[in-house]
């Protein structure tokens, strides 16, 4: 008797659970938004970036208007064009970009961002659209000061906060007292003032900055070089509420088109020219 009752209660519980499960899953599937369609419906692709990373993204006066330009801008304009929408930028600190994605403040991040395992835990990445190396920027005359990573450990190192360069210096090399600032131009000032001895950053970025700022040069060293600076677009992970599969597919299709046509490389050259004109 007791057993029967137990079984009956158990059965009832299972049925209730089944019902709840059913109804919630059918609700969810009704609510699931196809992100690509939503972007097309809105007519706008919201892009978050950190526009102090020339030639990837930086500010420039265009026809008397402060505009975000650069390599990533060329790429994202093509992504938007293929979707039939226009780009709307949100400019913020680099270390705030992934949070903005999570909070649905933006649709996509293009910021010369390197996909790594840590970031992949919270966001999805497109295919890699550009690969560069990392270098050390030092004061002119100090080009030979870094022969090995041990030399780097003896210097005052600066990196951009929240970047893969910061991760490399801190976690791979174990330099715990590196100066971490939010923007590359701030690091360049610290280097010029002698508050730091070296900046570890991407090669394309270094090349622009050593032209722009006096008395600095790229060091003759391969330290930093062993970790490539790749760039990919980041989007929020799909959930019950939002399906990003078609969105990512569309982004990857544009990337492939630009790579196959050779436009990707042209865009980097164009962006470097724009940055040098500045």
Q: Catalog residues that contact ligand ARG under the rule CB under 6 A.
A: 50, 53, 56-57, 94, 111-114, 160, 163-164, 202, 229
Minimum gap (Å) between residue 141 Cβ and ligand ARG:
27
Minimum gap (Å) between residue 189 Cβ and ligand ARG:
16
- Name which of 79 and 111 has its Cβ closer to ligand ARG: 111
Task: Give dist(CA 99, CA 96) in Å, integer.
Answer: 5
- Name which of 112 and 219 has its Cβ closer to ligand ARG: 112
Q: Residue 248 region, left (φ>0) first, then alpha (ψ -120 to 50), else beta?
A: alpha
Shortest CA distance to 201 belongs to which of 215, 184, 189?
A: 184
Task: Give dist(CA 133, CA 218) in Å, integer.
Answer: 12
Minimum gap (Å) between residue 162 Cβ and ligand ARG:
7
- Name which of 219 and 224 has its Cβ closer to ligand ARG: 224
- Name which of 120 and 147 has its Cβ closer to ligand ARG: 120
Shortest CA distance to 187 belongs to which of 170, 201, 199?
A: 199
Minimum gap (Å) between residue 97 Cβ and ligand ARG:
8
Minimum gap (Å) between residue 72 Cβ and ligand ARG:
8
Is the Cβ–Cβ distance between 108 and 42 less than 8 Å? no
Is the Cβ–Cβ distance between 42 and 88 less than 8 Å? no
Rounded to 10 degrees, the C-alpha dihedral 55/251/243/162 comes to -20
Task: Give dist(CA 181, CA 48) in Å, integer.
Answer: 19
Minimum gap (Å) between residue 160 Cβ and ligand ARG:
6
- Name which of 145 and 230 has its Cβ closer to ligand ARG: 230
- Name which of 106 and 163 has its Cβ closer to ligand ARG: 163
């Amino acid at each position: 008797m007791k057993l029967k009752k137990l079984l009956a209660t158990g059965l009832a519980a299972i049925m209730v659970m089944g019902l709840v499960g059913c109804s919630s899953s059918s609700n969810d599937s009704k609510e699931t938004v196809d992100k690509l369609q939503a972007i097309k419906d809105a007519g706008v692709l919201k892009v978050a970036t950190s526009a102090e990373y020339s030639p990837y993204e930086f500010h420039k006066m265009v026809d008397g208007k402060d505009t975000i330009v650069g390599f990533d801008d060329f790429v994202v304009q093509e992504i938007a064009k293929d979707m039939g929408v226009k780009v709307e930028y949100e400019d913020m600190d680099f270390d705030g970009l992934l949070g903005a994605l999570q909070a649905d403040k933006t649709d996509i991040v293009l910021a010369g961002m390197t996909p790594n395992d840590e970031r992949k835990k919270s966001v999805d990445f497109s295919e890699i659209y550009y690969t560069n190396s990392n270098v050390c920027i030092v004061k002119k005359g100090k080009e030979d000061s870094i022969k090995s990573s041990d030399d780097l450990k003896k210097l005052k190192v600066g990196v951009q906060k929240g970047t893969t360069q910061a991760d490399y210096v801190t976690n791979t090399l174990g330099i715990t007292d590196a100066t971490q600032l939010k923007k590359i131009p701030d690091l360049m000032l610290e280097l010029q003032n002698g508050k730091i001895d070296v900046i570890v950053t991407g090669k394309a970025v270094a090349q622009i900055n050593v032209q722009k700022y006096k008395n600095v040069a790229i060091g003759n060293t391969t330290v930093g070089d062993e970790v490539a600076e790749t760039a990919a677009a980041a989007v929020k992970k799909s959930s019950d509420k939002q399906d990003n599969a078609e969105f990512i597919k569309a982004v990857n299709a544009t990337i492939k088109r630009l790579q196959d046509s050779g436009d990707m490389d042209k865009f980097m050259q164009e962006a470097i020219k724009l940055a040098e004109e500045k």
